[in-house]
Amino acid sequence: MTFLPIVARELRVTARKRSTYWIRFSAAAVAMAVCGWSFIFFTQMGAASMAGKMLFGGAVGLAWFYAVIGGVFKTADTLSEEKRDGTLGLLFLTDLRGYDIVLGKMVAASVNWFFGLIALFPVMALSLLMGGVAPGEFWRSIVGLTNLLFYSLALGMFVSSFSRNERRAAGLTIGLLVLLLWLPSSLAEWQQHRTGATVPPLGLVLPDVLSPMRFASDYEYGRQPQLFWQSLAASHGVGWLFIALASLIVPRTWQQPSGRVARWEEQAGQFSYGRNATRRRRFRQRALELNPFYWVAARARGQSVSILAVLLLACAGFLFWFVQDPQDWTNEDSYLFATFCLHSIIKVWLALAACRRFVDDRRSGALELILCTPLTTGEVVRGQWLALGRQFLGPILLVLVADTLLLCFGSYAVNYRLPRDQALFALMFGANVIVFLADIVALGLLSMWRGLKSRHSYTAWLWCVVQVLALPWVIFYVGLTVFFMLAFLPRVMTQANANTGWTQTLMDYMAFFMTGMWFVGCMAMAILSAWWAWRCLRSKFREQVTGVFTAGAPFRARPTPVPPTLPSPAERV
């Protein structure tokens, strides 16, 4: 028998796919665009000597984010999807073992993602030619990034081995990633601060997957080179531990749950829908009178309870931060950061909830059956909106109350030197709240449309987050650098010696201009995304659900050929 047969097969299949080459090309193109533009900006700003170091730092940050999200989008739903489809049990009818299936599925899901990471490395190598980065630091960073990607993929396989629900698998993977990337370093710093030790405890530092990235620099590696290799080995071993656990769990969880597990799932479902039959009956009657699809989408209340719990936990964390370090809250950045975190939780969660309903119903055929009823597409979209409002109205109001409190406390707690600074803080806070409300509407509509077009909810969610939340920041960065290079920087260089007061005034009001530019870009993207998604939902909803293909060229029947006849006797002569 071939060793790891699924791995060998998937590698041969992946080599023939067109996406294998496009992912590598796209990753390298994005890295070249970001790093090339940053290099031009830094050289124009007079930082040519530091361009190589800055370019390397930006490329490492981009590769770090790419490696971290690999487990969420590539392996978190690999085995759970096979369980839902009922095909995982067929593999155990053969001589395959648990590790054959786990490693095979992991390679099949992540080989393209791994090729994309490799495509980023030549862009990072440009910093070696510019200077500022030593070859040893470059190669150690590459090893650390590869280990981080392996760690993320292994964690996703571990979560997928005991999960069946796609949303729960992705959410649990994100939660564990955040916990494992943040908790060890935070505990190590707290323990070092409490004991007054010169070095943090190695029991917390070495298993941390981010430790190799911290010890990869020439300064840290020159002081204690063994910490890099020890942390690399320890975190890599944790990744293999996840794979080993997944290999042991998969043969025992591919069947439908029964016994105690089934009872737990039934109790969780009863809690989500409510145990009071009278209350459920009243809500069903009201919802069906208002919109039938609203009852289908809004009868589960677990979404609201979960997001309220997460928001309260985040508020408790910020309160603990305030009690521990009150000096940090004398700066307006802390209040803006808290607001940004609370807004991001709502946005990300709403986008995932909005697209999940249509993805699941389209996959199961429920949407196609609903369209056979007298319900129109507008009523289906309206019912989904009402369901989102019932689930997220309370959390949104809670966040707005928290924003009001943060604005009031920030206005009194921050030590402002000028009234202009207080006006800038209020302007930034107000712009942030308005953009938050606009993004809520845009993400709701766009996630519905992306959910109709995608096979997996996390794929639709990723495209929505990139378009509405990430793309405005990219446009803001490019527009700001263009303004600096073409308009602001030449005037400052020519008039700095002649009119220092003018330059200082321009620098003082630059923050207002940057806030306005960011606000206009975010609002424009939100309005355009909402308008485009609403237009597509109104005109292409039924076509997308039923899978109607576009009509091609009209069919033209060929003329019937006339059978040949034998010549007559006269014609023969």
The C-alpha atoms of residue 107 and residue 79 are separated, in whole angstroms, by 12
Question: CB within 8 A of 361, min separation 6: which ones?
Answer: 367, 370
How far from 335 is each of 89, 338, 346, CA to CA, in Å?
Answer: 51, 5, 17
Output the pLDDT for position 553. 46
Output the pLDDT for position 552. 46
Q: Which two tokens stand for residue 174?
A: 């994100």
Which of 179, 184, 188, 145 has its CA nearest to residue 159?
179
Question: CB within 8 A of 407, min separation 6: which ones?
Answer: 335, 426, 429
CB distance 158 to 243 below 8 Å: yes
Eight-class DSSP state of 497: T
The C-alpha atoms of residue 202 and residue 223 are separated, in whole angstroms, by 16
CB distance 97 to 39 below 8 Å: no
Which of 306, 293, 300 has its CA nearest to residue 273?
300
Global confidence as pTM: 0.75
Output the pLDDT for position 436. 93
Residues of the chain with pLDDT under 70: 1-3, 37-51, 197-199, 256-276, 301-303, 414-418, 485-508, 547-573
Output the pLDDT for position 567. 57
Which of 213, 10, 233 has its CA nearest to residue 109?
10
Output the pLDDT for position 524. 93
The C-alpha atoms of residue 190 and residue 427 are separated, in whole angstroms, by 36
Helix axes 457-465, 166-195, angle to 10 degrees: 60
Q: Which two tokens stand for residue 89?
A: 């049990």
CB distance 228 to 203 below 8 Å: no
> Hey, is 224 helix, strand or coil?
coil
Output the pLDDT for position 240. 92
Backbone dihedral region for residue 549 (phi beyond 0: left; psi -120 to 50: alpha; all else: beta): beta
CB distance 460 to 355 below 8 Å: yes
Q: Which two tokens stand for residue 318?
A: 């910020």
The C-alpha atoms of residue 366 and residue 292 are separated, in whole angstroms, by 13
